[in-house]
Amino acid sequence: MLTIESLTHLGMGRASDGRSLLPRVLPGEEVDVAQDGTLRIVTPSVDRVAAPCRHFKSCGGCAMQHANDAFVAAWKQDIVAKAVHARGLDTDFRDIATSPPTSRRRAKLSGRRTKKGAMVGFHTRASDTLVAVPDCQLLTPALIASFPALEALTVLACSRKGEIDLTVTEANTGPDVLVATDKELTPQLRVELAALANQFGLSRLVWNDEPVVMINPPAQDFGGTGVVPPPGAFLQATKHGEATLLSAVQEITVKAACVVDLFAGCGTFTLPLAKYAEVHAVEGEAAMLNALDRGWREGHQLRRVTTETRDLFRRPLEADELRHFDAAVIDPPRAGAEAQIATLAASEINTIAMVSCNPVTFARDAQTLVDAGFAMPWVQVVDQFRWSPHVEIVAAFTRK
């Protein structure tokens, strides 16, 4: 018998033998591991619940449905708190904001052919077996409703033995679908794909890098401005998560007349902020900025927005370039923004809203700012990756 002593940041249970890392267990639980690896919970934790989704046992899409919401919230907050405290930083943690079930508006699914037609779903944990998830509790109803279209697409796009990736994003005009396949796109196939997109009401269908059908532009709404992102472009995982991050970013930058939005993507923050401030959006992907710029030009009553394609790892905005701005928003990828944070620290900017999906790089970058004289009055954890080990963070940095 083993006792679970704690959870790793990926949600694996550290067992009392000092070596075993066990999935889907909780601290304090006593478990038996049979010779064949089967896990039996002997003494369950008070935080253990029946998984809300009937697919949880077989599907590898979620990791934490065996724990109640309060446990998951405290565990995620603690991951961020530990990373911050490990850097010797102190701050107030606002209440965590957790996105509701069935709110994930974008998913990467897999598809393969079956005897009867096709199957679309997620892989089981650490294996290549595919599970169909028609009652998934994570995805929005619109994404679930797109499964028949994705299955029909798999029949056309997948070879008999292979597997394809299907990235589907909810849009008001219908599912926006990107398929990654090694099957060749023939003229005949194009005709069939166009018919399929029409039949199932897809807004756009992209084959590897090639747009095949665009029936209605799949616009996303950023604070009332429509933007048609490039296929597969980054989008905050849930509308709730996006709104929570945006409201924090707006609160932090409220007094700024001129804002620089670093790692701006397609304008999730830029365009809503442009209702009150001039914004300079900087981002590495030109296609995302083109989409942002088009949205701004077609938007109503927005202040001036300028865009700049720039690799912010190699060529961060320097302190003298940052002089024009009253506040910065920074939302880097998992690697964080070491170089850009260093120049922000050395600049005259006094207000920074930092958004991050990685507690470790967040804490590193936060420390650089604090060492340069910034205070970090509060941090908020946003759980838009419900039932997974991922976290999102937004924090305020100010200096007098």
Which residues are part of the catalytic machinery?
Answer: 357
Binding segment toward ligand SAM, per CB under 6 A, in 124-132, 210-218, 319-327, 330-338: 330-338
Task: Give the total of residues touching ligand SAM (CB under 6 A).
Answer: 17
- What is d(CA 189, CA 127) in angstroms, rounded to the nearest whole number? 31
283 in contact with ligand SAM (CB under 6 A): yes
265, 272, 299, 359: residue in contact with ligand SAM (rule CB under 6 A): 265
Which of 245, 233, 244, 239 shows the shortest CA–CA distance to 356? 245
Closest approach of ligand SAM to the CB of residue 265, in Å = 3
Query: Would you count residue 312 as binding ligand SAM (CB under 6 A)?
Result: yes
**264 touches ligand SAM by CB under 6 A:** yes
HEC string for the chain? CEEEEEECCCCCEEECCCCCEECCCCCCCEEEECCCCCEEEEECCCCECCCCCCCCCCCCCCCCCCECHHHHHHHHHHHHHHHHHHCCCCCEECCCEECCCCCECEEEEEEEECCCCEEEEEECCCCCCEEECCCCCCECHHHHHCHHHHHHHHHHHCCCCCCEEEEEECCCCCCEEEEECCCCCCHHHHHHHHHHHHHHCCCEEEECCEEEEECCCCCEEECCEEECCCCCCCCCCEHHHHHHHHHHHHHHHCCCCEEEEECCCCCCCHHHHCCCCEEEEEECCHHHHHHHHHHHHHCCCCCCEEEEECCCCCCCCCCCHHHHCCEEEECCCCCCCHHHHHHHHHCCCCEEEEEECCHHHHHHHHHHHHHCCCECCEEEEEECCCCCCCCEEEEEEECC
The residue from 313, 321, 326, 389 that contacts ligand SAM (CB under 6 A) is 313
Question: Cβ of residue 264: shortest distance to ligand SAM, in angstroms?
Answer: 5
Nearer to ligand SAM by C-beta: 234 or 276?
234
Rank residues 124 and 247 by Cβ distance to ligand SAM and give the closer one: 247
Tell me: does residue 44 bind ligand SAM (CB under 6 A). Answer: no
- Shortest reach from residue 39's CB to ligand SAM, in Å: 35
Decide whether 65 or 358 has the Cβ nearer to ligand SAM.
358
Answer for which of 56, 147, 200, 269 binds ligand SAM (CB under 6 A) is 269
Piece of 73-81, 170-178, 209-217, 262-270 that binds ligand SAM (CB under 6 A): 262-270
Window 331 to 360, contacts with ligand SAM (CB under 6 A)? 331-333
- The answer to whether the CB of 101 falls within 8 A of the CB of 386 is yes
Nearer to ligand SAM, 101 or 333 (CB): 333
Shortest distance, CB of residue 388 to ligand SAM, whole angstroms?
16
CB of 150 to ligand SAM, least distance (A): 24
Q: Which residue is nearest to ligand SAM (CB)?
A: 265
Least distance CB 383 / ligand SAM (angstroms): 16
Closer residue to ligand SAM in complex, CB, 157/282: 282
Q: How far is the CB of 107 from ligand SAM (least distance, A)?
A: 17
What residues are paired with 353 via a beta bridge? 329, 396
Residue (92 or 318) nearer to ligand SAM, CB: 318
177-190: buried (b, 16+ CB within 10 Å) or exposed (e) per residue?
Answer: bbbbbeeeeeeeee
Q: Is there binding between residue 284 and ligand SAM (CB under 6 A)?
A: yes
What sign for the dihedral angle of Cα 325, 285, 140, 108? negative
Greatest Cα-to-Cα distance within the chain, rounded to the nearest angstrom: 67
Smallest separation, CB 398 to ligand SAM (Å):
20
Which listed residue (30, 165, 221, 285) binds ligand SAM by CB under 6 A?
Answer: 285
Integer-rounded Cα Rg, in Å, for the chain is 23
Name the one range near ligand SAM by CB under 6 A: 54-62, 72-80, 136-144, 279-287. 279-287
Q: What are phi and psi of 104, to 5 degrees?
A: -70, 120
From 194-202, 306-314, 343-351, 358-366, span contacting ligand SAM (CB under 6 A):
306-314
Binding mask 221-240 for ligand SAM (x = CB under 6 A): -------------x-x----
Q: Which residues bind ligand SAM (CB under 6 A)?
A: 234, 236, 263-265, 268-269, 283-285, 288, 311-313, 331-333
